[in-house]
Amino acid sequence: MSEASLYQAFSTVLKRDLTLAYRTRTEMVNPMLFFIIVISLFPLAVSPDPKVLQSLAPGVIWVAALLATLLSLDSMFRSDFDDGALEQMLLSVHPVSVLVLGKVLAHWLVTGIPLLLLAPLLAVLLHMPSDSIPALMTTLALGGPILSLVGAIGVALTVGLRRGGVLLSLLILPLYIPVLIFAANAVSNAAAGLAIAGQLYFLGALLALALTLAPIATAAALRISLR
């Protein structure tokens, strides 16, 4: 199988998922609205004191981004499962892991990129220092794809269940904890003027590991779910 045919299959899946996401704009908007609402309500629930908000901002933004991503995960394979396209994908001559990677990339472009663009604006709302905003965006750029890649494994395992949302959360949230800890810590250190290279290297290593293993694990999980 040539590299050209693999690239064509990958790009076809990517374009198809982006087109479907554009047609169902509500699924695109829901995670963004959730992200905005959670962060906007946080000062009202805790304290409007800038010092308090500044200290809590990295964790709040990252928890909101994580939950917004989790909210959008179920749609990654659901429509394909309902209309039979998922079975056709598994019967394709192309490696399923490559096709899965195209779907994960589409999910991150639809969900992760809007969150990445909204984060600096909401960081200002929480009085985050301007020096730490580049670190926030860097951690979201590294951690966002990890959330989509790891989440795809859980979605693949629960795609055949009618009410798999709770099970999906139980499967995926423990795997998200390292990303949450190191990303929020990097932003906090940047706000305090400390070095953040170690945290970014760890997130980069997790991203490389997820890119290597998650598509293979997701393909295997899809085969298990559709048996």
Instruction: Quote the pLDDT of residue 79.
Output: 77
Which tokens hold the place of 139? Answer: 């951690």
CA gap 132, 17 in Å, rounded: 34
> Which span out of 128-137, 153-162, 198-207 was modeled with the highest average pLDDT?
198-207
pLDDT tens-digit series, residues 24-70: 777 778 889 999 999 988 888 887 888 888 888 999 999 999 999 99
Provide the sign of the torsion angle of the four alpha carbons 225, 74, 201, 113, taken in this order: positive
The percent of residues in the chain predicted with pLDDT above 90, rounded, is 46
Domain extent for 106 = 3-225
Global confidence as pTM: 0.90
pLDDT value at 225 more than 90: no
Please count the structural domains in the chain.
1
Q: Which of 204, 177, 207, 33 is nearest to 108 (CA)?
A: 207
Instruction: Quote the pLDDT of residue 153.
Output: 92
pLDDT value at 165 more than 70: no
Question: Is the distance from CB of 191 to CB of 129 less than 8 angstroms?
Answer: yes
- Weakest mean pLDDT among 2-6, 94-98, 114-118: 2-6
CA gap 47, 50 in Å, rounded: 8
